[in-house]
Chain A
C-alpha cells in the first residue's frame, strides 16, 4: 500500500512529460510540401529576425485571433496559410480569416449569420463600398478619440492592409543581408526583376523558384528549392539559422500553453488530495500531494525553460512588456509556492503555485497580440539598471499577488468556519442581501443606460458596487456550499500557518518593490538626470511600497491582526493590479476610456471581486467559530452554569 506514494507521483511525472513532448514529436508529413522547412527560413519583421513560422502564427493571431485558418471548412495550419498567401494562390481570398467582433462592423457585410465571426477577403471586397464609406468618415479623427466602433473598423482596415502587404511580399522582409553592407529588404521589388536582371540577388532567385513551384503545385521542385536555399543560408548565416530553428521548436513546444494544462492537472491532483485527506488512511492523500508537487516541479522547469528561451531569442531581459511580465509574475509566484511547500510540506504552497501559474499564463495568453518579442525603444534598450529595476519590481508585484492570493484562501477558510458555526443563518442572510443588492444595481444600471446618463464616476461606482455584491454572492456562496459537505476540518492551525505566510510574503514584497522602485530611479537619473519624476508608472510602484509599509506598520501598532493583514493584503491585489495595468490604461483617450473598453471593464471586475472578498473577510470576528477566542468562549460557555 505504501508504494502508492512512489508510483503515483511517478505516473504523474510521466504523464506530464508526455503532455510536453507530444507536440514536438515528429509527425508524418501531412502534405507533399515540406512546410516545416519553409517555416524555418529566417525573415525580418518588426525589426527582429525570426522564422517565417513565427510571422505566420503572429499574423494570423492578429488577423484571426487564433493560430489556424479556415479554408473550405477545413482547418489549415498557419504555415499552410502563409505559403498560400505569399505564393499568391487565388483561393486565399476565400479563406475565412478576418475576425470581426463588433456587431455594427459586421453588419456592414450585409446579413451574416450571428455565429460567424471570421470572414474572407472576398466577402470584404463585395462590401468594400460600404466599408470604404465608413472608413472615410473615420479618417482624420485622432485615434485617441475613436469610439469602440471606429476602433474596430480601423482595426479591420489595418488587418486587410496587413494581409495585402504579406500577399504583395512587402512584409515581412524576406531577403536577408548576404553580402556586407546589405540589410534585410522586402521581396516584392526584386521578385519581378529577377528575370533579365543582370545581377539578381541569390535569395530573391531562390524565393522566386520556391514560390513559383508552390504556385504551380510542384511539391518536388518546391522541396528541393527550399532545401537548397536552407543549405545556402546554413553556410552563410549559421547563427541566424540556429536561432530561427530554435524559435520554430519553441513555437511548436508552446511551453506556456502546455504549462497552463499541467497547472490545471496539478491543481486537480491537489483538490483530490484535499478530499482524500478526509479518508482515514492518509497514504492516498500523501501520494496525491506528492504527485501534485512533482507535476508542478516539471511544469516549473518547462516554465523556466520558456522564460530562458525568450531571453535567448530576444537578447533582452525576461521582462520587456506586459505579456512577459505576466509570464514572469507567474513564474516567480510558482517559485515562491514551491519554497513554501518546502517549508511547510502541507500541499498549500503547491496548490497556490498551480492556481497562480494557471491564472497568470491565461492572462499572458490574453495579453499576447502578435509578436510578443518586440524590439525595445532606444530609451528602453538593454541597460543594467533598467534590467535589474524591471526584474525587482516584477518580483515585488509577484510577492504582492502571492500575499493577496494566500489571503483569499485565509478569508475563505474563515468564512467556512463561520458557515459551520451556529451563525450560518447570518451568512445566509448576507448572501440574500447581496443577491438583492446585485439585482438593484443591475436595475439601476439599466435605468442609467435608458436615460443615457453619461457620468463616468456614477456609472463606475454603480458597476463597482454591482460587481462587488455579485462576487460576494459567488465567493461566500461557494464557500457556503462547500460547508455543506460532510468534510469539516479544523482549520485554525492552517490559518495560523497562512497568517505567517502572508506576513512573510508582504515583508518580502516590501523589500523588492522598494529596491525595484529605487533602481528605476537610478536608471532614470542615469538616463536623463531626474531621479524621481512622479510619472504614472513611478507612482504605481511607490503605491505598492506604501501599501506594504501600511500593512506592516498597522500590524506592528496592533491596529490589525491576522485577519486585518489578510483583508489589507487582498486590497494589495487591487493596488498591484493598478500599477501593473491601470497606469497603462491612463494613456488611452477619454472617449474609448468611456465605457466599453475591455481592459477597464476587466479592471473593474477584478476590483469588485477583491472588494467582495475583503467584505467577506470583515464579517465580525467573534462570530468566527474557527477563531481561537471564539473557541475559548464556547468552551467557557459550555462550562459555565446556565443563568437564564
Chain B
C-alpha cells in the first residue's frame, strides 16, 4: 500500500518536474537568440571581380519566382536598338520578352518579342496558325509561303508578311509581319512580330526591319543612350 503510494508520488513528481522543465526551456527559447550583430570573417577566395554589365533584353524578370525566374546566364543575352518613336508597352504580358507600341498616321502597330523553347509545334504549324489568324488558308509546305530575307546578327532569316485577303470576313488580326529566328545553340526560337492594320504595317515596315537588323546576340554592353535597349519593367510586381 505504502509502496504504491510512493510509486505514484514519484511519478507525479517526475511529471511535475517535466512540466517545469518544458516551461523553462520554452521561456529560454523565446527570450534568447537573436543574432543581429555585425560579423567579420574570412571566406574562401571568390571569383575575380569584373565591372558589372546589365543583361539586357532578358526575358522573364517576373520577380524572384523560384520556379520561373530565368537563369542569369550570359549566353542567352540579346540586345537591340529601339526606334525612337516606339513606346514600351507597359501592359505587356509576362510571357513576352518585350512589347512596344508605335503610333503612326495610318494607325498603331504593336511589336512583340517572344522566346520559345524549340517545341512550339514546328515552323509550318506556326505559319499555318498565323495564316488562320488573318484569314488565309493553310499551306502544305513552307516553300509555298512568300517571304523576304533579312540579315540578323550574321544569320539570314525570313520575314513573313501575312495580309488578310479581300474576301475574308472579320478576322482576329488584319496583318502581321513575323521574323523567326532559330537559335539551335540555345535550343530556342525567337519570334519578332508586328501586328496592326494593313496600312499601319506598311508605314512601320522599314522601322521594323531596322529594328530586327539591330538585334545582336551575346552583347555585353548596352548600346548607349538614348537608344536604350528594352529591359522588362515588371520585376517583383
User: Which B residues lie within 8 Å of A126 (CB)?
Assistant: 169-170
Known: A132-B172, A170-B129, A193-B124. 5 other contacts (CB 8 A): A139-B93, A140-B99, A168-B128, A168-B129, A192-B128
Complex Cα spacing A483 to B94, Å: 62
User: Which A residues lie within 8 Å of B73 (CB)?
Assistant: none
Asked whether any CB of chain B lies closer than 8 Å to the CB of A107, the reply is no
A-B contact pairs, 9 of them (CB 8 A): A125-B170, A126-B169, A126-B170, A140-B91, A168-B138, A186-B121, A186-B122, A188-B122, A192-B124
User: Which A residues lie within 8 Å of B132 (CB)?
Assistant: 164, 167-168
User: Which A residues lie within 8 Å of B94 (CB)?
Assistant: 142
Binary contact track A155-170/B, C-beta < 8 Å → 1, others 0: 0000000001001101
Contact for B170 among A129, A164, A186, CB less than 8 A: A129
Main SS class of interface, A: helix
**From residue A379, how far is it (CB to closest CB) to chain B in Å?**
10
Complex Cα spacing A127 to B169, Å: 10
Binary contact track A386-430/B, C-beta < 8 Å → 1, others 0: 000000000000000000000000000000000000000000000
Complex Cα spacing A53 to B14, Å: 69
> In the complex, are the beta carbons of A192 and B138 less than 8 A apart?
yes
Asked whether any CB of chain A lies closer than 8 Å to the CB of B150, the reply is no
Contact for A188 among B89, B121, B171, B172, CB less than 8 A: B121
User: Which A residues lie within 8 Å of B93 (CB)?
Assistant: 139-140
Asked whether any CB of chain B lies closer than 8 Å to the CB of A128, the reply is yes
Contact for B129 among A128, A164, A192, CB less than 8 A: A164
User: Which B residues lie within 8 Å of A186 (CB)?
Assistant: 121-122, 125
> In the complex, are the beta carbons of A188 and B91 less than 8 A apart?
no
Asked whether any CB of chain A lies closer than 8 Å to the CB of B223, the reply is no
User: Which A residues lie within 8 Å of B121 (CB)?
Assistant: 170, 186, 188-189
A residues lining the B interface (CB < 8 Å):
125-129, 132, 139-142, 164, 167-168, 170, 186, 188-189, 192-193, 195
Q: Do A193 and B140 contact each other (CB < 8 Å), given the known contacts A128-B171, A139-B93, A140-B89?
A: yes
**From residue A88, how far is it (CB to closest CB) to chain B in Å?**
9
Asked whether any CB of chain A lies closer than 8 Å to the CB of B139, the reply is yes
**From residue A167, how far is it (CB to closest CB) to chain B in Å?**
8
Classify chain B's interface size.
Answer: 20 to 34
Contact for A140 among B92, B124, B172, CB less than 8 A: B92
> In the complex, are the beta carbons of B141 and A188 less than 8 A apart?
no
Asked whether any CB of chain A lies closer than 8 Å to the CB of B104, the reply is no
User: Which A residues lie within 8 Å of B138 (CB)?
Assistant: 168, 192
Main SS class of interface, B: loop
**From residue B52, how far is it (CB to closest CB) to chain A in Å?**
30
Asked whether any CB of chain A lies closer than 8 Å to the CB of B90, the reply is yes
**From residue A163, how far is it (CB to closest CB) to chain B in Å?**
11
> In the complex, are the beta carbons of B125 and A189 less than 8 A apart?
yes
B residues lining the A interface (CB < 8 Å):
89-94, 99, 121-125, 128-129, 132, 138-141, 169-173
Shortest beta-carbon contacts, A-B, top 4: A140-B91, A192-B140, A189-B122, A188-B125
User: Which B residues lie within 8 Å of A139 (CB)?
Assistant: 91-93
User: Which A residues lie within 8 Å of B122 (CB)?
Assistant: 186, 188-189
User: Which B residues lie within 8 Å of A127 (CB)?
Assistant: 170
> In the complex, are the beta carbons of B140 and A188 less than 8 A apart?
no
Complex Cα spacing A140 to B101, Å: 13
**From residue A139, how far is it (CB to closest CB) to chain B in Å?**
6
> In the complex, are the beta carbons of A188 and B170 less than 8 A apart?
no
**From residue B131, how far is it (CB to closest CB) to chain A in Å?**
9
> In the complex, are the beta carbons of A192 and B141 less than 8 A apart?
yes
Q: Do A128 and B170 contact each other (CB < 8 Å), given the known contacts A168-B128, A168-B129, A192-B139?
A: yes
Return the chain B residue nearest A135 by Cβ. Answer: B172
With a 10 A CB-CB cut-off, give which of A129, A139, A141, A195 has the most chain B CB atoms.
A139
Complex Cα spacing A128 to B170, Å: 6
Complex Cα spacing A486 to B124, Å: 77
Return the chain B residue nearest A132 by Cβ. Answer: B172
**From residue A110, how far is it (CB to closest CB) to chain B in Å?**
12
User: Which B residues lie within 8 Å of A140 (CB)?
Assistant: 89-93, 99
Return the chain B residue nearest A127 by Cβ. Answer: B170
Return the chain A residue nearest B62 by Cβ. Answer: A142
User: Which B residues lie within 8 Å of A129 (CB)?
Assistant: 170
Return the chain A residue nearest B173 by Cβ. Answer: A132
Complex Cα spacing A49 to B169, Å: 37
**From residue B132, how far is it (CB to closest CB) to chain A in Å?**
6
**From residue B75, how far is it (CB to closest CB) to chain A in Å?**
26
User: Which B residues lie within 8 Å of A192 (CB)?
Assistant: 124, 128, 138-141
> In the complex, are the beta carbons of A141 and B91 less than 8 A apart?
yes
With a 10 A CB-CB cut-off, give which of B139, B140, B170 has the most chain A CB atoms.
B170
Complex Cα spacing A192 to B90, Å: 39
**From residue A140, how far is it (CB to closest CB) to chain B in Å?**
3
Contact for B172 among A128, A142, A167, A193, CB less than 8 A: A128
Complex Cα spacing A438 to B19, Å: 51
Complex Cα spacing A556 to B94, Å: 57
**From residue B149, how far is it (CB to closest CB) to chain A in Å?**
23
Q: Do A195 and B172 contact each other (CB < 8 Å), given the known contacts A139-B91, A140-B89?
A: no
**From residue B50, how far is it (CB to closest CB) to chain A in Å?**
35
Complex Cα spacing A440 to B230, Å: 57
Contact for A189 among B92, B99, B124, B170, CB less than 8 A: B124
Complex Cα spacing A128 to B135, Å: 12
> In the complex, are the beta carbons of B89 and A193 less than 8 A apart?
no
User: Which A residues lie within 8 Å of B169 (CB)?
Assistant: 125-126
> In the complex, are the beta carbons of A168 and B90 less than 8 A apart?
no
User: Which A residues lie within 8 Å of B125 (CB)?
Assistant: 168, 170, 186, 188-189
**From residue A629, how far is it (CB to closest CB) to chain B in Å?**
39
> In the complex, are the beta carbons of B171 and A195 less than 8 A apart?
no
User: Which A residues lie within 8 Å of B172 (CB)?
Assistant: 128, 132
Return the chain A residue nearest B99 by Cβ. Answer: A140
**From residue B117, how far is it (CB to closest CB) to chain A in Å?**
14
Q: Do A195 and B129 contact each other (CB < 8 Å), given the known contacts A125-B169, A140-B92, A189-B124?
A: no
**From residue A338, how far is it (CB to closest CB) to chain B in Å?**
44
Complex Cα spacing A644 to B89, Å: 89
Return the chain A residue nearest B168 by Cβ. Answer: A125
**From residue B108, how far is it (CB to closest CB) to chain A in Å?**
10
User: Which B residues lie within 8 Å of A193 (CB)?
Assistant: 124, 140-141
Complex Cα spacing A396 to B201, Å: 62
**From residue A474, how far is it (CB to closest CB) to chain B in Å?**
46
> In the complex, are the beta carbons of A125 and B141 less than 8 A apart?
no
> In the complex, are the beta carbons of B171 and A125 less than 8 A apart?
yes
**From residue B165, how far is it (CB to closest CB) to chain A in Å?**
14
